[in-house]
Amino acid sequence: MSRVSLALKVAIGLLMVDSIIELSFVSSMVGWIHRRASQGFLFNLGDSTFLLAGEPLNIMVDQGHTSNGAAGTAFVLIGLGGIIALTLRSWSRNKSGGVAAFSQWVYYLWLLLTVLAFFLTTGALGYVFSVTNAHEGQTIDTALAAGLNGDRYPLDSWTPQNWFSAVLQLDLVDARGDIQSHLSLMRGWQYNLIPMFLVQLVVTVLAWWEFLSWRRQTRNVVVHEEK
């Protein structure tokens, strides 16, 4: 096994681990929002206590779906798909006919998917950070929130990170620690896109580098056999 092949397998393993972390963080956020945040949060204003809905009226979820899609694609198509493609290529090395053709087709398809999946992760990284940064610093109008009687806050559009950051600025009765811990998870899946992008870049480069090396070796064997 060449050093490039070994490095590629290690990089695929790292990508699978990182993508599982990303999927876990996003799933944890979604589960907590539906299970706990949906109950709302109590906050003090003056001498009274009011209920704030756990989600605003205009909550933005596309960035979470995009990150989830990028991570799932990286794990299934590039990780598991890479293991299958490389195994088939190695297994069919001395075979011919339909088996060899099918194995090479799977391998070539996987190579193409490494590039497409990398573009997806790149897009997810840029999209999530641009949307989150665009809404950073928003605050909740406490007077308006107090008069909603638990209805969803109607002003502005919010990402989960920005919304719960704003909620923490209120004089909460309880749940502050719970919100802070889950806000850390939300920021975790956002910033985890950076190492996922870098590892996937390495996988893509190594996959094509290893492919060129494999092609040279294959051609050398064919030339040697013809002689």
pLDDT tens, residue by residue, 53-108: 999 999 998 999 999 999 999 999 999 999 999 999 888 776 667 778 888 899 99
Mean pLDDT across the stretch 194-199?
Answer: 97
- Interval 110-155: pLDDT, tens: 999 999 999 999 999 999 999 999 999 999 999 999 999 889 999 9
Helix (H, G, I), strand (E, B) or coil at 158: strand
Mean pLDDT across the stretch 9-24?
Answer: 96
Structure confidence at residue 223 (pLDDT) = 45
How much is the pTM?
Answer: 0.88
- Confidence tier at 214 by pLDDT (50, 70, 90): confident
CA angle 65–139–173, rounded 5-degree value: 95
H or E segment and range at residue 9:
helix 3-35
d(CA 206, CA 114): 10
- CA 68 and chain centroid, separation: 5
**Residue 62, burial from CB neighbour count under 10 angstroms (0-12, 13-18, 19+):** exposed
pLDDT at 224 over 70: no
Structure confidence at residue 98 (pLDDT) = 76
pLDDT at 11 over 60: yes
Indicate the domain borders of the chain: 3-226
Which of the 8 DSSP states describes residue 79?
A: I
Mean pLDDT across the stretch 200-211?
Answer: 96
Buried b (16+ CB within 10 A) or exposed e, 176-201: eeebeebbebbbbbbebbeebbebbe
